[in-house]
Every structure is written in structure tokens, then in C-alpha cells.
A and B are shown apart, each in its own frame.
Chain A
């Protein structure tokens, strides 16, 4: 049990496989097929499960985190976690042939790891080298791999087979997982926990807003996830020609 993240991903996959196997007995509705969401029934159940985990575990600990750690401290944690992702982002930039963006990722890593005191500060942004996200799910998309049906992963949320595969590859290629040391589980556990706190803390108001204004939270999340991922894969604005007519 050296890699807690790999375990979590595996556990999510196992729960999902069991759920999808159970779902196979009930055929998907025409609506679900039209939405490229043949496992909608199972996905909705998983979203409910994730909502309970969020309500009873994540939100209370995020509240405690905000109470105990002042804003500059939380920003430092956010910067540090972002810095840890830079090697993976750099590799994916290169795999997508985005040499200029790869250069930015590399410079951010060098500058923030040194002048930024191990990544807790972000002097690179002040120098005009802004950060960006990249992952292996996006790399697969750039290589022409289709997203596959919509999935809601236990613990991890909205995804699809392409992005779930990408997540597993990103975990495998993360250099910190290649460094073996005693008590690695505490490092992994701490990183996952603080990533969760950071991410949920940042998205708290947005998610609350979506829940408050949604007619159907599940399909709202599905639409937002797909549009957001398309934007990330394009690395920017859509040309506008793909939009439907009004």
C-alpha cells in the first residue's frame, strides 16, 4: 500500500465496475443514450454518494481548515500543491507538442522551487509566467481519443473513460511517486487531503451557486464538466462555429 492515490483510484474503479455491472441489467433510456450517458442511473447514485461524503466529511474539514489557516497560509498551500503538479504538466505539454507552454511550465518549476521557497510562493506569476493546467486526459484528446460515455467516479466526481485513464497515467508519471522513502503513505495521504481541502475551498461558492440555481444539478454538472474540459483541451476559446443555432 505504498501509493495511496493509486489505491484511491483503484478503489473508485472497483466500486464503479460493480455499479456498472449492476447497471448492465437495466437498459439505458433513449434520453441517456442521446446524452452519451448510458450509465446515468448509476452515475446519479454515485453523485448522491459523493454528495454525502462531501456534506459529512469534506465540508466540515474545509470549514475547520478555513478557521485555522489564514488566507496567506492557504495561498501558500495552494501554490505548493500547484508546484508539485508542474512536472506532470510539463510532460503533457511536451506530449501535446506545446513547446512554448512546456517552457513556461519548466520555468515556473525552476523559479517557484527556488525563489518561491519550495513552491510556497509564486514569483513566476509576478514575472509574467502564468500557470496553466494540462493532464494526460487532455493529451489523449489531442491525440484524437474520444471521451467515451460520461461517468461519475466515486470520491472523484465527473469524468469519462478517457479522463479516468489520464488520471491514472498522471499518478503513475508523477515524480514524487517514484521517490521511495519510509512513511510514503503519510506524504501521499497529506497531499490528497490538502488537495481536497484546497480544491473544495476554492470551489465552495461556485458549487453552492450551481446547486442553488439548478433545475437538475446532475445534468448541470455534466454539461459544465464537458464544456469545461473542451475548453481545457483547446487551451482557449472555441472558434464559435461549433455552437448550435438559436
Chain B
């Protein structure tokens, strides 16, 4: 049932394209952009993480370079600040975006390094709006008899090129969880974004330590 909806949507779009190419062509093209964006780049990321020839520093640097070219870190950072984004001083927000970049890189690396022995397969996408897509993938573990894990990627295309803004493992969205944490932390610290920046910097340093 879960697979059939995107497939039905695609069939519908193809039928629409046959009858009216002018209208349907862009709608058909954009989901494929999101899907191929995920397909190509996530494999690149996993290849870096599982490349045994790289030292841990090289692996971290290469992964960070790739990640920053794919992910709209600023957009995610501002989202995770929740309502405090509007009330915080602009300098604090900029410091937060910088600290979040290091934290997110370390967290994404830690997150994906667990799955380097597995294969990712794109199975479809859902269009939330003409520039907002959820690309559905399956993480297949060849050594397990368990069903593949569901991993979804949220891709925005409104800046001209596709960018990744969120990832979900088995229905749990990383940015939602980060926003819940940060907003709660700020609520307990009188909305002081600087204290969150300090905390994030410590965490990023801790996550970056060679435990993986």
C-alpha cells in the first residue's frame, strides 16, 4: 500500500503528460530531479564513509565537504530555533548557524556511518508542493532477514538546485527532533541562544572524537 501511491501518482502524471505535455512536463521532471539527487549523492556520502583507504581526518573532511554542498544548513538551523528565531539578536542567530553547521556535520556523519555496510535504494517520491519533495528509500542490510528500514529524505528545489533539508529513519525526522530539543533547552535558559551555541560547540567536539 505504501509503495503503490507514489507509483499511482507517477502513472497518473505520465498519462497527463501524454495528453498535455506543456502542463505535465515540469511536474514530471521535478520529482525525478529530487530522486536522482538523493540516489547519486547519498551513495557518494556512503562511499566516503566506507572508504578504508581514507584516514579518519580525510574521511571527515571529505564527508563534510559533500554534506555542505548538499544540505541547506542555514535553513535547517533557522527552523530548529523555532519561535526563538524571531526574538534572538541577529548576531546570536549567526553564531548559532555557525555552531549548528559543525554540530549537524558531526551528527550526520555519526548517523550515516552506522549504515555503511548497507545499500540504499530509491523507491519513489511524494510531492508536498512544487518545490518540496519527500524521497522514499529503503536501507537494505544484505546480512539480515529483517525487512528493509525506511529512510526518507526531504528535498527542496526552490533555490534553483535541489538541497537536502531533513532525513527520517523509520518515520523519525531528525530536524523535528532537533527543534524539539533546542526549543526546550532555550525555554529552560531564558531564550539565551548563546548558551545553546556553547552547548552545541561542546557536543560537536565530542561527536567528532574518533569513536567510529
Contacts and interface: CB of A to CB of B under 8 A. Distances in A.
Interface of A: 29, 31, 35, 122, 125-126, 130, 209, 212-216, 218-220, 222-224, 227-228, 230-231, 234, 236-241, 243-246
Contacts of A246: 75-76, 79, 154, 156, 165-166, 175
Q: Across the A-B interface, give the 10 residue pairs with the lowest CB-CB distance, nearest first.
A: A231-B171, A219-B184, A223-B180, A31-B187, A240-B134, A223-B177, A227-B172, A216-B185, A215-B181, A240-B126
Contacts of B181: 214-216, 219-220, 223
Contacts of B188: 31, 216
18 contacts: A35-B180, A130-B147, A213-B110, A213-B207, A214-B181, A214-B203, A219-B181, A223-B180, A227-B173, A230-B171, A231-B172, A237-B2, A237-B136, A237-B150, A243-B128, A243-B154, A246-B75, A246-B165
Among B187, B200, B206, max chain A CB count under 10 A is at B187
Given A213-B207, A215-B203, 4 more contacts: A212-B206, A219-B185, A231-B172, A240-B126
A83 to B, nearest CB: 16
B133 to A, nearest CB: 9
Contacts of A35: 180, 184
Nearest to A230: B171
A228 B172 contact: yes
Contacts of A218: 184
Given A130-B146, A215-B203, A237-B150, A227 B185 contact: no
Contacts of B206: 212
Contacts of B187: 29, 31
Contacts of B172: 224, 227-228, 231
Interface string B161-176: 0000110001111011
B163 to A, nearest CB: 10
A238 B180 contact: no
Which of B176, B181, B196 has the largest count of A CB atoms less than 10 A from its CB?
A: B181
A236 B150 contact: yes
A46 to B, nearest CB: 16
B102 to A, nearest CB: 13
B87 interface: no
A214 to B, nearest CB: 6
B2 A236 contact: yes
B44 interface: no
A227 B203 contact: no
